[in-house]
Structure 1
Amino acid sequence: MNFKRISIFIMTIVITLGAVIWTSPTLLSKVNLGLDLKGGFEILYIAEPLEQGSIVDKTTLKKTAESIRKRIDKLGIAEPEVLPEGNDRIRVKLAGVTNEEEVRDKIGKQAELTFRAPDGTIMLNGTDFVEGGASVGYDQSNQPIVQIKLKSREKFRDVTTQLIGKTLDIYLDDEMINNPGVHQTIDSDTATITGNYTYAEAKGLADTINQGALPLKLTEKYTQSVGATLGMASLNKTMEAGVIAFIIILLFMVIYYRVPGLVAAFTLITYVWLFILVFNLMHGTLTLPGIAALILGVGMAVDANIITYERIREEIRSGKTIASSLKAGSKHSFRTIMDANVTNIIAGVVLYVIGNGAIKGFALVTMISIVISILTNVFLSKMLLNLLIRSNWVKKPQYFGVKEAEIREL
């Protein structure tokens, strides 16, 4: 018996399982859940041009989606999904959001700031203000105010000169938020909005102004809300079904394939752990289709093991030694396994490129699981079996589920 190979085998098992047990609670707690598991809401917007006669092109649609994403980021919502769809639709998915009405109002609001004369004539519009130039300041009484940087000092001076003795009405969309009187020419590149604001109100107004106007007009076409309780119920049921199926698979592999089955059980556990680790590192969002893809990946990993082990058993039945059977069986099964996996990766790439939303998530999880499955259930499995067989610890065909009577002479 080769104790060096046995020691390497045992150390690999112990260290890996130790890492799995030690890190799994932390990894699972850090997984980002989609709205179908965590609760939240989904909105489908129909985009229309702001001006009659204009068209909605894909470039403008992407810019609008990016503007919405920036608004959501400022609200502190983690992992939003904002996806352009087709020629005139934008789908927004927000998980873990409870103040739905407030968020919907923030992300769909045009937020176009204009300065107008008393007769309604627009004197300054969004193009006259520095992008992101609104900030909170304080007046002489230490009262919060909103200060807005202008691009042209001269233009603001001309506007205030024209309106001496009148008011300069400040509108956010079509709502007047202030109408200060102009008593003299203001020679400054900063406009000030005053009022009895608290700091939070002034900060909210400044943020709204900085969000700016959306490139397109958005109309809600479809809204779906998922309660946190319903989402957790879906997660618990899905995980319960997945764990039961996983345990049944492990028992089947151990009972039917004996020692290789034990190796397969270990590599399957490693496969699931590595998947969760990689998914966390990618900051992915796990949804019900993603869990379905993961469970499908477990099935494909098992299939890879079964193909390899059946080929090895056929070689043993033909009268070859255990070591020769492992070499020949692994070689003959490798091409079959790789053909199937490469085909599935190609299908996953196609789904990811042309799909939307949940389809992209399913495709991404499928591709990740295939790559990890090849590493664990093909290469790692073969390495561990090699260590066992070449250590002379596993020498009898019965360890592979092959009876002596089934072995034919060469």
Structure 2
Amino acid sequence: MAVILIAIVALTAGMFASGHTTPRLGIDLAGGTSFTLEAKNQPGKPNAINTDNMNTAVSIIERRVNGLGVSEAEVQTQGDKHIIVNIPKGTNAKQARQQVGTTAQLYFRPVTTTTSGEKTPDPSSTPSPSSSASGKGGDKGSDKGSDKGDKASGTPSASSSASASSSASPSTQGRALSEGLKADKTPSGSASPTPSKTPKADPSKGASDSASQQALAKQFANLDCTTKAGRAAAAEKAANAKPTDSVLACSEKGDAKFVLGPSEVEGTDVDDASAVFESQNGAGWIVQLDFNSKGSKKFAKTTGELNSKQSPQNRFAIVLDGAVVSDPEVTQGAITGGRATISGGFTQQSAENLANVLSYGALPLSFDIADETTVSAALGGEQLDAGLIAGAIGLALVVIYLVVYYRGLALVAMASLGVSAILTYTIMVLLGPGIGFALNLPAVCGAIVAIGITADSFIVYFERIRDEIREGRSLRPAVERGWPRARRTILVSDFVSFLAAAVLYIVTVGKVQGFAFTLGLTTLLDIAVVFLFTKPLMTILARRPFFGNGHPWSGLDPKRLGATPPLRRRRPAAPGPADTKEA
């Protein structure tokens, strides 16, 4: 019994220490935000909007939202090209909005040219895609500083800058613009990189190539990344371009624009991504990328080629949905081993956002947020009140039955129910900030059903004790002899309930999972309460005269139970003398 009491004190203290004293409520009880995503056709894919792609998108969006620490989120299709996403109150709606609509089309493209984000005043002075936007001296100075910092860390990496002359700074939109790309572990050997030619217009390839380069240079000069409209237009055009095409792109913050070559590595080559805090060398929050075997080879080959070039053409632009989220330099050979690290300027939220999007894969369709509304909890509140009233009535009926039929044993049952209720409540409160558990209406129903399951365990034990008393045993032996038989029955019953809850949780989605989770949790707590509280309490009460002597109001009166008097053997009479004595 001491164990269960210590657990109650610890959970209650943890609840108050965390600052959360009420359970986190689901969207049907507390309200929240609802997004309507509309799928749009992609160039070259007229039949992309179909049932399979929509179901895949629902699965990916649900994993992304849950990756933010949100449970009980509702993601479901509506019609042929709409997806409804309902997120409970208390979730960062802005962060969720960025996650649910991001297609996560990821490409690693070599940087051909980069300059500041504003529109170039004189198109004739715009550098061609084969030249650097800044002066040679500026590049040398910037590279020198970056190399010096990298050598101090002892890791093959380089800190990139959003422009040829700008320094590293975090993005206001939550992702780092200026980061370093490095191997997770120092390579054992440096492969000899094969220099590649700088992309430029070649007159021998015909007038069409020359015209294409001139058109690209003109578009680059006219691109204005400092405006939201300019960034959106560039991102949409880059996202819809083929991986083999050269594209124009803006940084997320808009302080830099790029001419990028054909994609060398795609997002499908990334096996996993995670946000990690690295205290060594003051790196702070970083994003670790793990490539599959195919991507590892391509990544090592490409980084080896970029290493032989001058800045900015030794940079690798990481392009997510047409925007450059990072443009790190490669300065110390090929990055081998299948793992790379993006570092520099990340906050915890920005690192987790990027890792979350990359981990769960790219959406098969592009989506626009067609509508965003706030969901009211008025209807859910009325249903909750009705459910709580029904639960109170059911609990009152159970208590009345226990008092009438079991009398004094009803106190044991009610004390056990109280302990179970305290454990359930405190654990649900702590699971809110812990794993994002949200209490919805089905979960409340699961808790109400658990009252009957818990009371059933007490009844099984009480009846076993009463059976032993009917057979003529006193209370103390009855408590100990009835426990093994009751224990076996309780375990079998609770195992069936827990198995049903586990299967229901696995095969269902959405709110029904809340019912299954609560039912499984309360079933486990029922076993803990019966073993660690009810049984020890009965052992203690059996030593008290009120219960031990079978008081009529104890519920264990042998006469009321029709107990059979214990059989007692009579002593045989002493044999008489064999010979008759005469007077």
Band the TM-score falls in, shorter-chain normalisation: 0.5 to 0.7
Q: Which amino acid aligns with 1:269?
A: G
The percent of aligned pairs where both chains have the same amino acid is 23
- TM-score normalised to structure 1 length: 0.65
How far apart are the structure 2 equivalents of 1:357 and 1:377? Answer: 31
The structure-2 alpha-carbon separation of the partners of 1:180 and 1:226, relative to structure 1 and needing over 3 Å to count, comes to: closer
Q: Which amino acid aligns with 1:376?
A: V
Contact 2:505 2:516 in 1 (8 A): yes
Contact 2:24 2:438 in 1 (8 A): yes
What are the Cα deviations for residues 67-117 of structure 1, in whole angstroms up to 9, with x where unaligned?
7438x83xxxx524568889x9987441006997995576224476999xx
Matched with 1:246 is 395
Matched with 1:272 is 421
Verify: 1:33 aligned to 2:25, yes or no: yes
Matched with 1:362 is 515
Matched with 1:126 is none
Matched with 1:311 is 464
Per-residue deviation, 1:373: 0.4
The structure-2 alpha-carbon separation of the partners of 1:160 and 1:232, relative to structure 1 and needing over 3 Å to count, comes to: farther
Give the secondary structure class of the aligned counterpart of 1:400: coil
Matched with 1:95 is 88
Per-residue deviation, 1:335: 3.0
Give the secondary structure class of the aligned counterpart of 1:286: coil
Contact 2:33 2:86 in 1 (8 A): yes
Matched with 1:158 is 199
Matched with 1:373 is 526
Matched with 2:219 is 167
Q: Which amino acid aligns with 1:33?
A: L
Matched with 2:564 is 409
How far apart are the structure 2 equivalents of 1:265 and 1:166? Answer: 81
Give the secondary structure class of the aligned counterpart of 2:219: coil
Give the secondary structure class of the aligned counterpart of 2:509: coil
Matched with 1:65 is 61
How far apart are the structure 2 equivalents of 1:270 and 1:108? Answer: 45
How far apart are the structure 2 equivalents of 1:134 and 1:93? Answer: 39
Per-residue deviation, 1:230: 4.1
Matched with 1:226 is 375
Contact 2:61 2:75 in 1 (8 A): yes
How far apart are the structure 2 equivalents of 1:342 and 1:366? Answer: 12
Query: Counterparts in 2 of 1:123-134, with a 5 A limit?
Result: none
How far apart are the structure 1 equivalents of 2:9 and 2:105? Answer: 57
How far apart are the structure 2 equivalents of 1:230 and 1:94? Answer: 16
Verify: 1:400 aligned to 2:396, yes or no: no
What are the Cα deviations for residues 158-179 of structure 1, in whole angstroms up to 9, with x where unaligned?
3799458512246122599789
How far apart are the structure 2 equivalents of 1:221 and 1:14? Answer: 53
Give the secondary structure class of the aligned counterpart of 2:413: helix
Q: Bigger CA drift: 352-361 or 289-298?
A: 352-361
Matched with 2:538 is 385
Per-residue deviation, 1:357: 1.6
Give the secondary structure class of the aligned counterpart of 2:218: coil
- TM-score normalised to structure 2 length: 0.48
Q: Highest Rg: 1 or 2?
A: 2
What are the Cα deviations for residues 283-308 of structure 1, in whole angstroms up to 9, with x where unaligned?
32221111111111111111111222
Give the secondary structure class of the aligned counterpart of 1:276: helix
Give the secondary structure class of the aligned counterpart of 2:365: strand
Unaligned runs of 5+ in 2: 110-122, 124-128, 130-158, 172-176, 183-194, 203-212, 224-230, 239-248, 260-310, 318-322, 325-348, 566-583
**Whose helix proportion is higher, 1 or 2?**
1
Contact 2:26 2:72 in 1 (8 A): no
Matched with 1:333 is 486
How far apart are the structure 2 equivalents of 1:337 and 1:108? Answer: 49
How far apart are the structure 2 equivalents of 1:256 and 1:160? Answer: 95
How far apart are the structure 2 equivalents of 1:17 and 1:100? Answer: 35
Alignment partner of 2:497 out of 341, 344, 351: 344
User: How many correspondences in the alignment?
Assistant: 371
Unaligned runs of 5+ in 1: 1-8, 124-132, 195-202
Per-residue deviation, 1:251: 5.0
Contact 1:80 1:93 in 2 (8 A): no
Contact 2:33 2:373 in 1 (8 A): yes
The structure-2 alpha-carbon separation of the partners of 1:46 and 1:356, relative to structure 1 and needing over 3 Å to count, comes to: farther
Give the secondary structure class of the aligned counterpart of 1:320: coil
Contact 1:305 1:378 in 2 (8 A): no
What are the Cα deviations for residues 306-349 of structure 1, in whole angstroms up to 9, with x where unaligned?
22213322332343211233234333333332222221222122
Per-residue deviation, 1:254: 4.1
The structure-2 alpha-carbon separation of the partners of 1:94 and 1:143, relative to structure 1 and needing over 3 Å to count, comes to: closer
The structure-2 alpha-carbon separation of the partners of 1:17 and 1:39, relative to structure 1 and needing over 3 Å to count, comes to: same
Contact 2:29 2:441 in 1 (8 A): yes
How far apart are the structure 2 equivalents of 1:156 and 1:323? Answer: 92
Contact 2:399 2:414 in 1 (8 A): yes
What are the Cα deviations for residues 166-197 of structure 1, in whole angstroms up to 9, with x where unaligned?
12246122599789799xx9646378x99xxx
Matched with 2:364 is 216
What are the Cα deviations for residues 184-234 of structure 1, in whole angstroms up to 9, with x where unaligned?
x9646378x99xxxxxxxx99xx89x9689431166999996314444444
Q: Which amino acid aligns with 2:528?
A: L
Q: Bigger CA drift: 387-396 or 101-110?
A: 101-110
How far apart are the structure 1 equivalents of 2:181 and 2:218? Answer: 21
How far apart are the structure 2 equivalents of 1:180 and 1:19? Answer: 55
Q: Which amino acid aligns with 2:475?
A: I
Contact 1:24 1:273 in 2 (8 A): no
Matched with 1:79 is 70
Q: Which amino acid aligns with 1:216?
A: P
How far apart are the structure 1 equivalents of 2:383 and 2:160? Answer: 43
How far apart are the structure 2 equivalents of 1:218 and 1:40? Answer: 24
Verify: 1:189 aligned to 2:189, yes or no: no
How far apart are the structure 2 equivalents of 1:235 and 1:156? Answer: 68
Matched with 2:570 is none
